[in-house]
A and B are shown apart, each in its own frame.
Chain A
């Protein structure tokens, strides 16, 4: 690992100033950053340790009914906050389906949003990667790419975004609060991560020195508590990234869906909101054929980027399953294997 200057600012303002220097990177828990630095994938010359900044690890109820989650709150603390998990069960389930207990105990909310792709060619410094070394090419094209993107990819990059947490957040219209040299601003999470296009090295909308201070869920996000599920296909039972995942959050009255949110994970370089599918669901009577039509719409633009055509059909099926289970109702307690499509759900569902 290349050595670096270590800076510990006392305020967000100091942090932004320190991180605005070329070569600087923010350090929170470091669960992804240190891994990347050990592999020589990134080599910041300065680490700005924000993990001790005060008041950024809270869950706050705002006057307008929004919920603000501080950027330094640990993933486990958010998932296990009873009130939060009851209001946003798919967010809690997604968090608990990601990484391991040790990593969730350390990793922060802001860090989860900013984690890098797990594309093996990005990690392997001997491989060509336009994201790591712009213009060098993409060894994932024509390489081992069965887990790569099927939506929104370009010839320059076929990587996926690995976050589970971001998938329900994008479905629930989460907003990212950031602070930079020019002050505070907000970015809708759906627009926060960039698709690769011709510039896969640009991953999100943050300007140099800008820091995530909070993620906010607007008031309507709490309407879906009774019918929300996150489902995730993995190559082993636990502690693995998604092959494909989907969140379905519904508002159901009798046999009609009155409001619907749907998003996919593991399919693109950003959490993928499926708005066409949502519009098919809204106002319709729920049944299996409706869910299949929604799944077709969600994947209508999908195309394989390599040996991964199977992911398209797999994603359709996980969408149908997520919609079916969300309609049946949110389980009273998150299943023993969170987000597993193979888990049996015992006990009652929430009736709200």
Chain B
């Protein structure tokens, strides 16, 4: 079986010759497109390390078949910094020590960016923790992660207020 498919990954259109229907988006990114920022940990949808944004929604890329996502727009951790400047969420994770070993961090950051886009948590730490519960951190950096997400949310709110004013 050979299937030609296309994806827009971090703004760049990629054509892929897929030779196996079993390939997940996670394995496609890591092993075929060599974008290894997205991490593979449990590979079963339990840890969130593989979180990416597909068509503006955060999902577990380990549980998504690549072949089913022909034409999709994908954002990974490699695509969030712009013009050599870190994404505000990345800055906030650094500022608040939202990581220790760093392995879960790409998934945490993509999930946090998705959380803010969804607009359900606001500045409530309890809602942020609940909204981030699909991302496990074995180092236990949860407090810093929550603080980072809240700071990034405040930044977004401030920018939105300036736009309105």
Contact = CB atoms under 8 A, between A and B. Distances in A.
Chain A binding surface, main DSSP class: loop
Contact of A47 (B21, B44, B58, B64): B21
Interface in B5-59: 20-22, 24, 43-45, 48, 51, 57-59
Contacts of B111: 101-102
Contacts of B51: 102
A5 B22 CA distance: 10
A337 B130 contact: yes
B149 interface: no
A218 B134 CA distance: 33
Contacts of B118: 76, 80, 101
Contact of B65 (A3, A5, A34, A101): A34
B135 to A, nearest CB: 8
Q: Which among B118, B120, B132, B134 has the greatest number of chain A C-beta atoms within 10 A?
A: B134
- Chain B: interface size category: 35 or more
Interface string A37-49: 0110000000101
Given A38-B44, A100-B48, A101-B118, A31 B60 contact: yes
B65 A106 contact: no
Interface in B102-141: 111, 114-115, 118, 120, 124, 126-127, 129-135
B101 interface: no
Nearest to A28: B68
A160 B68 CA distance: 30
B68 A49 contact: yes
B165 interface: no
A82 to B, nearest CB: 12
A336 B130 contact: yes
A310 interface: no
B145 to A, nearest CB: 14
B74 interface: no
B114 A101 contact: yes
A101 B60 CA distance: 10
A52 B62 CA distance: 19
Contact of A101 (B58, B63, B68): B58
Given A31-B45, A34-B63, A51-B68, A238 B133 contact: yes
Contacts of A8: 68
Contacts of B115: 101
A349 to B, nearest CB: 19
B59 A106 contact: yes
Contacts of A3: 20-22
A208 B20 CA distance: 27
B164 interface: no
B67 A6 contact: yes
28 contacts: A1-B22, A5-B1, A6-B3, A29-B64, A30-B64, A31-B45, A35-B44, A35-B45, A38-B43, A47-B21, A49-B67, A49-B68, A80-B120, A100-B48, A100-B134, A101-B114, A101-B131, A101-B132, A102-B51, A102-B60, A102-B111, A103-B45, A103-B59, A237-B133, A336-B124, A336-B127, A336-B130, A337-B130
Interface of A: 1, 3-6, 8, 27, 29-31, 34-35, 38-39, 47, 49, 51-52, 74, 76, 80, 99-103, 105-106, 237-239, 336-338
Given A35-B45, A49-B68, 11 more contacts: A4-B21, A30-B64, A34-B62, A34-B64, A35-B63, A49-B65, A102-B114, A105-B114, A106-B57, A106-B59, A238-B129
